């Protein structure tokens, strides 16, 4: 019997089967490098944080295999993708795609490195596979209907779903799948789709890093690896009866699966964070940074700080116990330091500093009932003499509306990696990453990031 395959699924699979050999437009290639650099930097710094350490510990006893663990040894691709994914989302510095409410990079890039290392893929092949992962993961989420993040109720996690299908697409591209194999890999991915919004209750970010990155990266790599080993599957998991989309949504938008493929590159619509903090706090940090750069503010003279955020973001960053996702702490720390630093954003002890504590007690975080699905902030500082300082941020630096320059991407990556790799090793790695399309074997990159390579760099 000949299986009926929808036009959308066929187009999606045809796109993947051609992605490895299809050059990216120059501007897309360059933007993809931004995201690979940004995610690798997040992996390196995140390997030193609790979620990264837990992921590495989980796979510590796995026998030597094909791909590399940042800060660890070597492991099979599925386990490597899990550990590197958890490191990539360990400190809230990874990228985000607003329309699908997802963080593609923390799952897609670890999957690309895991399979690319196994396949000895070139840097250009990895870049093409990463771009394809962003295109497919976001489109699958959008095909389920308008994404919603309501942390006051229970629901599926768009972050996990985007990462899963993105990782499967990336791995399929690097395996060089045919159109049929690509369809089967997506079907295996659909069977392992999971993730619910209970991650918002995770106090230490470890389970959240698993949901957003470790789980989808490893499940996506596993789906493609099974097909690569000879497993066949359902020819069209997105159409027919029963199918994945109808099982999960009553508002299916099947046309989104292939809409604009090859013309609209979703990596061009993905944001990079300038600040290593939770995405909902980005605009508030930028607002305070601009205020203190314009004119310093004496903490002792602050009567009140009022932060207005979109209503769907407030709970995520409202007086959280972790410094990098506590909006009140981040704004207070930026005011006192007159700067933003990675160290401040990850300093647990400083959250109870008397000056910081006093400012937090005088800070009101206010939800704007008219705004949702955007990253904006309105910060007003009222001084003891009644004067006010105010700043509104409508487009956060690093978003598609206000993108970072190459120098800013480099500065952020160096700030994250130097404490782990040292200055010399970081400089050499950055030089290789900026010329990634000329790299003959991605192992030249991943080989610099094993435990042995890190130990050698420190000698």
The per-residue pLDDT for 454 is 55
Give one word for 336, left, alpha or beta, with left for phi > 0 and alpha for psi -120 to 50.
Answer: alpha
Q: Mean pLDDT, to the nearest integer, of 143-164? A: 89
The pLDDT of residue 60 is: 76
Of all helices (H) and strands (E), which one includes residue 161?
A: helix 158-175
DSSP string covering 168-181, please? HHHHHHHHT--HHH
CATH 1.10.4100.10, the chain: domain bounds: 7-269
pLDDT band at 155 (very low <50, low <70, confident <90, very high): confident
Give the pLDDT of residue 61: 63
Per-residue pLDDT of 388-442, as tens digits, reads 999 999 989 999 999 999 999 999 999 999 988 999 999 999 999 999 999 999 9
Three-state DSSP class for residue 212: helix
Determine the pLDDT at residue 452. 59
CA 230 to chain centre: 31
| Residues ≥6 apart with Cβ < 8 Å to 308 | 366, 367, 368, 377, 378, 379
Fold of 7-269: 2-methylcitrate dehydratase PrpD (1.10.4100)
In this prediction, residue 39 carries a pLDDT of 98
pLDDT at 2: 45
End-to-end CA distance of the chain: 63
Report, in angstroms and rounded to the nearest whole number, the Rg of the chain calculated over CA atoms.
22
pLDDT band at 375, cuts 50/70/90?
A: confident
pTM above 0.85, yes or no: yes
What confidence tens digit (pLDDT) does each residue in 11-44 have? 999 999 999 999 999 999 999 999 999 999 999 9
Nearest to 267 by CA among 109, 134, 138: 134
**CATH 3.30.1330.120 occupies which residues in the chain?**
279-393
With a pLDDT cut of 70, the percent of the chain lying above it is 94
Distance CA 150, CA 208 (A): 16
Question: Above 60 in pLDDT, residue 65?
Answer: no
> Can you say how many angstroms the Cα of residue 108 is from the centroid of all Cα atoms in its chain?
8
Which residues 6+ apart lie within 8 Å of 188 measured at CB?
A: 168, 222, 223, 224, 226, 227, 231, 233
Say what the pLDDT of residue 342 is.
Answer: 86
Total residue length of the chain: 459
What local confidence, expressed as pLDDT, does residue 67 receive? 53
Which strands make up the sheet holding 363-368, listed edge to edge? Answer: 363-368, 302-310, 377-383, 388-393
pLDDT at 70: 63
Residue 416: partners with Cβ closer than 8 Å, 6 or more residues away:
41, 42, 44, 45, 93, 276, 342
Pairing of strands 363-368, 302-310: parallel
With residue 393 as reference, give the H or E element that holds it.
strand 388-393
64: confidence class by pLDDT, cuts 50, 70, 90: low
Task: Tell the residue number behind the tokens 């005011």, with chain if given.
Answer: 335
Of the candidate ranges 149-153, 154-158, 272-276, 428-432, the one whose mean pLDDT is the lowest? 149-153
H/E stretch holding 53 reads helix 50-58
Average pLDDT, the chain: 92
SS3 readout for 131-148: HHHHHHHHHHHHHCCCCC
Alpha-helical segments (H) within 192-251: 206-209, 215-228, 244-248
Band of pLDDT at residue 453, cut at 50, 70 and 90: low
The confidence score (pLDDT) of residue 231 equals 97
Superfamily of domain 279-393: 2-methylcitrate dehydratase PrpD (3.30.1330.120)
Q: Does residue 100 carry a pLDDT above 80?
A: yes
Provide the percentage of residues in the chain whose pLDDT is more than 90.
Answer: 79
């Amino acid at each position: 019997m000949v299986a009926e395959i929808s036009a959308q699924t066929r187009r999606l699979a045809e796109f993947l089967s051609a992605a490895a050999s299809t050059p990216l437009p120059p501007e897309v290639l360059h933007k993809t490098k931004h995201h690979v650099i940004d995610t690798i930097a997040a992996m390196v710094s995140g390997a030193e944080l609790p979620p990264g350490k837990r992921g590495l510990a989980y796979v510590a006893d796995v026998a030597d295999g094909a791909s590399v663990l940042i800060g660890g040894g070597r492991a099979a691709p599925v386990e490597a993708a899990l550990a590197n994914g958890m490191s990539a989302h360990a400190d809230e510095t990874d990228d985000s795609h607003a329309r699908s409410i997802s963080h593609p990079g923390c799952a897609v890039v670890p999957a690309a490195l895991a399979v690319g290392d196994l396949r000895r893929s070139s840097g250009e092949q990895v870049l093409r596979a990463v771009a394809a992962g962003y295109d497919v993961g976001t489109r699958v989420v959008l095909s389920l209907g308008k994404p919603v993040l309501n942390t006051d109720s229970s629901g599926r996690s768009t972050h996990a779903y985007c990462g899963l299908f993105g990782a499967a697409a990336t791995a399929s591209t690097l395996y060089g799948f045919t159109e049929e194999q690509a369809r089967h890999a997506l079907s295996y991915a659909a069977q392992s789709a999971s993730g619910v919004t209970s991650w918002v209750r995770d106090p230490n970010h470890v389970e959240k890093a698993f949901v957003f990155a470790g789980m989808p990266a490893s499940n996506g790599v596993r789906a493609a690896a099974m097909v690569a080993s000879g497993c066949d599957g359902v020819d069209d998991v997105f159409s027919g009866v029963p199918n994945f989309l109808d099982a999960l949504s009553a508002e299916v938008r099947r046309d989104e699966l292939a809409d604009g493929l090859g013309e609209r590159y979703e990596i061009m619509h993905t944001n990079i964070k300038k600040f290593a903090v939770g995405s909902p706090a980005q605009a508030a940090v930028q607002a305070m940074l601009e205020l203190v750069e314009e004119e310093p503010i004496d903490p002792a003279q602050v009567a009140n700080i009022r932060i207005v955020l979109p209503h769907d973001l407030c709970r995520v960053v409202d007086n959280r116990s972790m410094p990098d996702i506590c909006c009140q702490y981040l704004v207070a720390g930026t005011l006192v330091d007159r700067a933003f630093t990675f160290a401040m954003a990850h300093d647990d002890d400083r959250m109870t500093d008397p000056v910081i504590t006093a400012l937090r007690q005088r800070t009101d975080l206010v939800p704007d009932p008219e705004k949702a699905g955007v990253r904006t902030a309105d910060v007003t500082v009222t001084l003891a003499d009644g004067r006010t300082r105010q700043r509104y941020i409508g487009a956060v630096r690093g978003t598609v509306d206000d993108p970072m320059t190459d120098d800013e991407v480099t500065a952020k990556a160096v700030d994250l990696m130097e404490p782990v790799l040292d200055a010399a090793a970081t400089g050499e790695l950055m030089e290789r990453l900026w010329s990634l399309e000329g790299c003959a074997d991605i192992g030249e990159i991943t080989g610099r990031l094993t435990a042995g390579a890190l130990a050698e760099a420190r000698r």
